[in-house]
Amino acid sequence: MFGLEKKDTSLLLIVAVLTMFAPFILNPFPTDSALAQFNAGYPDLMQRFVIFGIFAIGFNILFGLTGYLSFGHAAFLGVGSYAAVWMFKLIGMNVLPAILLAIIVSGLFSVIIGYVSLRRSGIYFSILTLAFAQMSFALAYSVLTPITGGETGLQLALDDPRILGVSQTAEGNIPVPSLFGLEMRSTAELVVGPWEFVFNVGYYTSALFMLASFYLAIRIFRSPFGMMLRAVKSNQQRMNYTGLNTRPYTLAAFVISGMYAGLAGGLMASMDPLAGAERMQWTASGEVVLMTILGGAGTLIGPVLGAGFIKYFENIFSKINDNVLHGWFAFLPDGMEDFVVFIIHPFIGKGWHLTLGILFMMVVIFLPGGLVEGGQRISSWVRGRKSEDKAKGKTEPAE
């Protein structure tokens, strides 16, 4: 099915089901419940889950398959955002041309950076990509202000030409990004008892792009091209000794990865038509590295899990404060309650990075394969227990 093996088809279908039913899955608690703050089924966060999932999937094609660690992929994310916003300003508010331009411009930009950076490998390659990303950030922040908007970012304006669209609505407002008339911010709500579910056009648009990206990643992983990239990761020097030039393969992987980042940047601009230089900072590049390693580098679904995990921490876990903790532990005596809150306080709210760092360290030490390896271990343990139960249930014949 879809030209995939049975196992890959099942994985794709599981991801599709989880993505399509995310508004239900991410809102497990009633809106009036004390645990409602852990619900993540609102449009902005769900969009971030799938968009950064695309970003991480693309990065995994480079890092997971070839072993080349790039610290500059945020540059392509930012370039894609700028290209999409310029398309909105000059042509129209349809998101498809903007996303297409974001992918093309990011691909061309990645050809230039990749051609230079891939002359080196290992830590030297990583430093080169980091240098290019920081130069791009500096150019976008100050030197290229007429093109990028500088520190305020590139924004839409009422006097933008928009050749194939209107410069302003009948009410005198700036038009919003849309997909053939469907506004990205359009939402529909479903109330079932105490539960409230939100369905957003922008989320499902991003989700469809994520599913297409995931499918393409599967095809790359299972193709001869993917096998060649794994060989580069395994022993590139030995391949060079055989007379095989590996640079075209690594450059192709770098460009594909950059185009994935451009797609993510274009989608970010489509959901919120604003592009700023902060998207090109080294911290954004480091974030996608964390996502990929945390989920499981070299696996198919791992980067998506890592992206969701980190974005959940950033947007949900970080909102827990002392007042919430006092509400949770109100049943304790006053002195004990204050002591427990004092102990937990550094790990929540603004200290969520500390908790994430500890979890990341534990994953690297105990689960080198990331969250995917953790799931595989749990699955093996469950299957082992079932096998033991079946073995115990069997009766031995009498002698």
**Residue pLDDT, tens place only, 326-379:** 888 888 888 898 898 889 888 888 888 888 889 888 888 888 889 899 888 888
In a domain, 319, yes or no: no
Kindly state the tokens that stand for 316.
């949900």
- Alpha-carbon distance of 73 to 95, in angstroms, equals 23
Q: What percent of the chain has pLDDT over 70?
A: 96
If 0-12 CB within 10 Å is exposed, 13-18 middle and 19+ buried, where does residue 77 land? buried
Q: What is the pLDDT of residues 377-398, one digit of tens each?
A: 888 888 887 666 666 665 554 4
Mean pLDDT of 278-301: 91
In a domain, 338, yes or no: no
pLDDT band at 399 (very low <50, low <70, confident <90, very high): very low
- Alpha-carbon distance of 204 to 32, in angstroms, equals 26
Nearest C-alpha neighbor of 25 from the set 218, 265, 203: 203
Who contacts 346 (Cβ-Cβ below 8 Å, separation ≥6)?
A: 354
- Alpha-carbon distance of 51 to 49, in angstroms, equals 6
Mean pLDDT of 240-263: 93
In a domain, 391, yes or no: no
The residue range of the domain holding 192 is 6-32+39-281
* Domains contained in the chain, number: 1
Q: What is the pLDDT of residues 71-112, one digit of tens each?
A: 999 999 999 999 999 999 999 899 999 999 999 999 999 999
Residue tagged 């799931």 (tokens): 375
Which of the residue ranges 179-188, 225-234, 313-322 would you say has the lowest mean pLDDT? 313-322
In a domain, 331, yes or no: no
Mean pLDDT of 170-198: 89
- Alpha-carbon distance of 87 to 164, in angstroms, equals 11
In a domain, 328, yes or no: no
Distances (CA, A) of 398 to 65, 237, 307, 389, 395: 55, 62, 57, 21, 9
User: What CATH number corresponds to the domain at position 192?
Assistant: 1.10.3470
What's the pLDDT at 391? 64
Could you report how far apart the first and last alpha carbons of the chain are, in Å?
A: 51
Residue tagged 């395994």 (tokens): 234
Please state, rounded to an integer, the average pLDDT across all residues of the chain: 90
Please check whether residue 299 is in contact with residue 368, taking contact to mean a CB–CB distance below 8 angstroms: no
What's the pLDDT at 398? 43
What's the pLDDT at 349? 83
In a domain, 150, yes or no: yes
In a domain, 206, yes or no: yes
Mean pLDDT of 304-320: 89
Q: Considering the entire predicted model, what is its pTM?
A: 0.92
Mean pLDDT of 210-239: 92
- Alpha-carbon distance of 336 to 342, in angstroms, equals 10
In a domain, 51, yes or no: yes
